[in-house]
């Protein structure tokens, strides 16, 4: 039985398949494709994009980068960003790395560059090496033990590419940055997540303004985001640990195991027990 998960990166805490710390895919779009519209977003996964044919620009942090054929872009977890691509044929390889695995790589010696977004243009020899590593990664099953070390090699090679100098963004949209204190508290203490008023105080906002701002930036209310985050964490713990279902429910702050079960069923279409059995079958 296939386990449910979200296939496209959206403004949710975890969008990779269970037990798959890395997802890689090749995207090709033809001559008739239109220019992409603005979609400022963020996600838990770290993201590396290896472009083939491309034009347009990439916004991340407080800078805008011009995209050219053969360039690469890297975005750390929870960094607000946007790609605006020109019309016409374009292609890229997208590599997404689960937050914990990506943070471990970013703190490895020599990989400090991965702690910030960047855009770069590798020379031909490095471009060939990146292409070979990406092709190898694309050919592996997501559960293959080579996936994580190979992704580490790919990221290490990406950090060697000469940077593209970005232009400062005027009055950068700092919406997500203003909300980071609440989001970071939730990520580090999911069982003791702040309520809306406490989250607003952490962000130095009134409760009403925080609620409006959060819904505008993230696309869901704070309470929905907290619940979604906890449920995705629960899904990973069901597959990756031997912790009991009741223990998972308690450790993530759900009121009761039965309440957790009802929410999980509504979100994923199967009970926690069914989910665990399907993922290990």
pLDDT tens digits, one per residue of 97-143 = 987 788 888 888 889 999 999 999 999 999 999 999 999 999 998 88
pLDDT at 39: 62
Q: Look at 10-24, 72-86, 123-137, 181-195 and tell me which has the smallest mean pLDDT.
A: 10-24
Mention the CATH class of domain 175-280: mainly alpha
C-beta of residue 45 within 8 angstroms of C-beta of residue 99:
yes
pLDDT at 102: 83
Confidence bin at 10 (pLDDT 50/70/90) = very low
Highest mean pLDDT among 19-33, 93-107, 145-159, 227-241: 145-159
3-class SS of residue 222 = helix
Q: Enter the DSSP assignment of 243.
A: -
C-beta of residue 80 within 8 angstroms of C-beta of residue 54:
no
159 CB-near residues (< 8 Å, 6+ apart) = 110, 111, 113, 114
Q: Enter the DSSP assignment of 219.
A: S
- Percent of residues, the chain, with pLDDT higher than 90: 54
Residue environment code for 205-221, b if the CB has 16+ CB neighbours within 10 A, otherwise e: beeeebbebbeebbeee
CATH number for the domain whose boundaries are 22-168: 2.60.120.280
Of 38, 40, 158, 32, nearest to 93 by C-alpha is 158
Q: Look at 122-131, 168-177, 230-239 and tell me which has the smallest mean pLDDT.
A: 168-177
pLDDT at 206: 95
Count of beta carbons in the 10 Å neighbourhood of residue 111: 16
Query: In whole numbers, what is the pLDDT of the chain averaged over residues?
Result: 86
In which residue are the tokens 């929870």 written? 78
Q: What is the pTM of this model?
A: 0.69
For CA atoms 174, 187, 191, 229, the dihedral sign is positive
Give me 150's structure tokens: 């190979």
Rounded to the nearest angstrom, the gap between the alpha carbon of residue 29 and the centroid of all alpha carbons in its chain is 22
pLDDT surpassing 80 at residue 186: yes
As to burial, measured by CB atoms within 10 angstroms (0-12 exposed, 13-18 middle, 19+ buried), residue 139 is: exposed
Domain ranges of the chain: 22-168, 175-280
Residue environment code for 171-182, b if the CB has 16+ CB neighbours within 10 A, otherwise e: eeeeebbbbbbb
pLDDT surpassing 90 at residue 260: yes
């Amino acid at each position: 039985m296939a386990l449910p998960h979200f296939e496209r990166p959206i403004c949710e805490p975890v969008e990779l398949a269970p037990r798959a710390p890395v997802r890689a895919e090749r995207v090709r779009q033809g001559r008739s494709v239109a220019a992409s519209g603005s979609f400022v977003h963020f996600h838990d996964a770290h993201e590396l994009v290896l472009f083939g044919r491309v034009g347009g620009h990439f916004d991340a942090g407080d800078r805008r980068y011009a995209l050219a054929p053969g360039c690469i872009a890297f975005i750390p977890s929870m960094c607000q960003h946007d790609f605006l691509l020109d019309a016409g044929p374009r292609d890229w390889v997208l590599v997404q790395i689960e937050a914990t695995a990506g943070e471990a790589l970013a703190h490895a010696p020599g990989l400090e560059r991965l702690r910030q977004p960047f855009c770069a243009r590798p020379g031909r020899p490095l471009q060939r090496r990146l292409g070979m590593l990406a092709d190898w990664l694309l050919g592996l099953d997501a559960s293959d033990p080579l996936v994580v070390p190979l992704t580490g090699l790919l990221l290490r090679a990406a950090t060697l590419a000469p940077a593209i100098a970005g232009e400062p963004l005027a009055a950068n949209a700092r919406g997500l940055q203003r909300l980071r204190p609440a989001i970071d508290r939730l990520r580090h203490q999911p069982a003791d997540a702040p309520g809306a008023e406490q989250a607003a105080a952490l962000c130095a906002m009134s409760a009403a303004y925080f609620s409006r701002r959060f819904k505008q930036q993230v696309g869901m209310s704070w309470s929905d985001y907290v619940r979604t985050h906890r449920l995705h964490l629960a899904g990973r713990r069901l597959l990756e640990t031997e912790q009991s279902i009741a223990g998972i429910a308690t450790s993530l702050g759900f009121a009761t195991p039965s309440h957790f079960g009802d929410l999980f069923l509504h979100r994923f279409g199967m009970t926690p027990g069914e989910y665990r059995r399907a993922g290990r079958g």
